[in-house]
Every structure is written in structure tokens, then in C-alpha cells.
Amino acid sequence: MEHNALLFIVGVIALALGFLIAKMLERNNASQIIKRAKKSAQGILKEAKSEGESIKKDKILQAKEKFIELKAEHEKVILGRDKKMNEAEKRTRDKESQVSGELSRNKKLNQSLEDRIKDYDKRLEYVDKKKAEAEKMHQSTVQQLEVISGLSAEEAKSQLVTTLKDQAKADAMKHVQTSIEEAKMTAEQEAKKIIINTIQRIGTEEAVENCVSVFNLESDDVKGRIIGREGRNIRAIEAATGVEIIVDDTPEAIILSCFDSVRREVARLSLHKLVTDGRIHPARIEEVVQKTTRQIEQEIVEVGKRTVIDLGIHGLHPELIKAVGRMKYRSSYGQNLLQHSREVAKLCSVMAAELGVNAKLARRAGLLHDIGKVPDTDTETETPHAILGMQWAEKYGEKPDVCNAIGAHHDEIEMTSLLSPIVQVCDAISGARPGARRQVLDSYIQRLKDLEEIAFGFQGVKKAYAIQAGRELRVIVESEKVNDDKASSLSFEISQKIQTDMTYPGQVKVTVIRETRAVNIAK
């Protein structure tokens, strides 16, 4: 037991000594580390101080250089300002010298002006004296003349003025009469020259439209397929297109008959598609006709665009372009309406250029003058085509001169611009040239006779003339039997009679003329 206790005590003592020794060694190491850290810190401080000194010296040098640079710039600015001030002072001195020179010159001018004014005053005094002397002499002369002639000055003056007025009126009337006669002769000659020159410069084509089209077939076997069982195919085609189809003994051909060329064209193209495809039955016929109708509508727009581009017309409303395209499928007395309108546009352009009028505006009015003949709806057909065309032009933003030219080319309204007579004349030239329009002569003459006979059927009518290709009926009545009120009612009654008894294209204007003459003979 004692031995174990001794060992324990020795162990404790040894442990305490080891701990003390370890602590001593640790303290010794710490002191060494601290010494090394202090040495390192001192080295870092020395380096920092040396670097700070070098940075300080660099900054001082940079500041000195910046100061020198700023000082040089400042001196340069000061020198520039001094230079400008010296220049301004120099200009000021120059201005002062110039002003002093001008002042001296002005003094001299003022002096010369004063001298001249004095001279003028003296001259005016002299002139006034002479004027007074002349007035005294004039009064004495007038008094002597009054005594000699026995007339006062006012009476003599009035007689002289009256004589001069009468002589001036006579000379003026002679001059005016001569000028009017010369103007009439010159105007008629110039008008003929312009019209002949215009007609010669425009190349025209004779385009006569028919009311029937011939559809050629490869063989007569196709006729049976077009007719269909019990004629159902041909009835379906006629119902869908509104065209009468005539199948006769003509070899390898059928005839399409319709007054509307658009319907005939739709029927012709539809038949061509049906025959090419080979499927011909009512459902297929309706489908093909609808597609062809849309195709024709697109073609109408393209025709209108090509026409306005060819004529150099710009800014035309799309609806008016469609109307121009529809004119390709309309005719007037056998004359294709689009060809007629193109021809009128060219004639108007040339004639306007000769007269010094706006040629582009005249060409525009010439192209659009007959757009009222291609109405969209049946209700619009009741309005005269010239008035309808004018309303369309106003609706789609055309200029007033163009609208008036369209509405007045058949004298429905009053002409207000120089374009209107140009369009009217060119329309007559295009429609009246040989070969332009085709009519059956016998029926045409008979229609004119019928118009005149209707007028002769009314009491008081002395003469009746159908003019302008039957578009106007002029009735001359006896003034003793028909008064002014009766003439107005007679015009209305004749127009109603024509409307109920006759069939005619377009419209007929009825003009009743009542004239009263008073004749006496001087012997």
C-alpha cells in the first residue's frame, strides 16, 4: 500500500514537473514569435514609410506639373482675351474715325441741301409770279374769245365735249364691229383647224359589238352533252347565265345570244371550262358559272387599271376604275364603250393642248364622260347617264370641272368650264365618224319619222325635227295658237307620249320653240 502511494505521489510530482516544463517551453516559443513579429512589423513600417515618401514626392511633382500646366493655360487665355480686347479697341477706333468722317460728309451735304432749298425757293417765287401773269393773260384771252364768239367758256366746253363723245362713240362702234367680224372669221377658221388637226392625230379603230357570240366545238357529239338529258343542262346554263343558247344545224358550233356582253362572256368562258373538263351537270354548271363570274369581276378591275395606266391618269378612285373596266363589256349603238371613251380621252387631250387648257384634266374627263352607262343597280338606270356619271364623279372626289364636263356633255346641265364643250365636241367626233356605230338604216329612219309624227299629232305644231340621232326632238309651234304656258305643257305631253308609245335607247329631249315676230316695212 505504501509502495503504491509512493508511486502515485512520484507520478503526480513528475506530471507537475512536465506541465511546468511544457509551460516554460511554450512561453519561450511565444516570446520568440513575438520578437519575430515585432521585427517583421518594424520592417513593414520602414517599407511603408519609404513608399509613402516616394508617393508623396511623386504627388508633389505631379501637383507642380499640373500647376505649371494650368498656369500656362491661364496665361494663354489671358493673352487671347488681351488680343481680343486690343482688336475690339482697334475696331472701335476705326468706327469712331468712320463716324467722324460720315459726320463731316453729312455736314457738307446739309450745307449743300440748304443752299439748294434757298435756290428752289427763289425759283418757286419766280414761277408763281409767271403763273399769275399767265392766268391774267388767259382770263383776258378768254374774255376776248367770249366777246368774239358770243358764247361763254362753259358753253363752248360743253359743246366740245359733246362733239368729242359722239365722234368717239362712232369710232368705237366701227372698231368693235370690225373686231367682232374678224374674231368670228378667225375663230371659225381656228376651230376648224384644231378639230381637223385633232382628228388627224388620233388613230381610231372600228369596234362594232354584236349581240351574239359563236362557241366553236371540236365535234357535234359535244352538243348532246351540253343539251343534257331532256335539255336539263342547257336550261341550267341559261338560268345561271341569263344567256339564250341556240343549238341549230350549224356544224361544230352553238350560238350564245344576249344583249349584255358580260353575260355572254361569262357563258362563253363557262362553256369552255365545262367542255374542257368534261363534267357537265347542273351542280357543276352552277359552280363553274360562279367561279367565272368572279374571274370576270377581277378582269374588269384589271382592264380598268390598264386603261388608266395607258392614258396616264393617276389618283382615280377604285370604284371609278371598276366602272371604266365594266365599259369594256358595254356598247352604244354597236360601238364598244371602252374604246369610245379611250378615243374621246385622247381627242380631248389633243384638243385641250391646242387650246391651252389642262390636257391631263381633259383626258380624265373624256375617259369618265360615259361612266353613267354602266350602272351597278337597276334603279340607277332611271337617271340619265350624264347626270348619273356626274353624281358618281362628285361622290368619288373628282374636280368640279371634270364633274361639270361629264354632266353637261348632252346639255342636261349648264356648262361652267371650258372642259365641258371640249368633251361634248370630242364625244360627237368619236360617235359620228363613219363606221364607229352601226344601225339598221331603215329602222333608224323610221324611228326618226315616228318621233316627228308623234309631235305632229298635237294641235298647234307647225314643224318638228328629230336631231342628234333621235336624242332630241325640236317642235316649232304657232305663236297664235299656243301661248307660253301651253308650250310648257305641250313639251311634257309629247315626252309622255314618246315614253309610252316608242321603244328607244337612252333618252329623248323634247324642246318646244314658240316665236313671235313683228315685221314692218319702211318706204
∠ Cα 280 214 281 (to 5°): 10
Taking each helix axis from N to C terminus, what angle separates 282-310 and 261-277, rounded to the nearest 10 degrees? 130
DSSP 413: S
For 225, the grid coordinates are 352533252
For 423, the grid coordinates are 368633251
| Cα gap 314→305, rounded to integer Å | 10
Q: What is the pTM of this model?
A: 0.47
Please list the pLDDT of the chain residue by residue as tens digits (523 residues).
566 777 778 778 888 888 888 777 777 777 788 888 888 888 888 888 888 888 888 888 888 888 888 888 888 888 888 888 888 888 888 888 888 888 888 888 888 888 888 888 888 888 888 888 888 887 777 677 766 666 566 776 777 677 777 778 777 777 777 777 777 667 666 666 666 666 555 655 444 445 556 777 776 677 777 777 777 877 888 877 877 777 766 677 777 777 667 778 888 888 888 888 778 888 888 888 888 888 888 888 898 899 888 888 888 888 888 888 888 877 766 677 888 888 889 889 888 888 888 888 888 988 888 888 887 665 555 678 888 889 888 888 888 898 998 988 888 888 888 888 888 888 888 776 555 555 444 566 677 788 888 888 888 888 888 877 677 888 988 888 888 888 888 888 898 888 888 776 667 888 888 877 777 888 6
∠ Cα 412 414 420 (to 5°): 90
Taking each helix axis from N to C terminus, what angle separates 385-395 and 400-408, rounded to the nearest 10 degrees? 170
Phi-psi group of 278: left, alpha or beta (phi > 0 → left; psi -120 to 50 → alpha; rest → beta): left
Query: Which is nearest to 368 in space by CA: 397, 394, 341, 350?
Result: 341
The contacts of residue 402 (CB under 8 Å, 6+ apart) are 361, 364, 365, 368, 393, 419
The percent of the chain in helix, strand and coil, each rounded to the nearest 5, is 70, 5, 20
Task: Measure Cα distances from 308 to 297, 338, 368 in Å.
Answer: 17, 11, 10
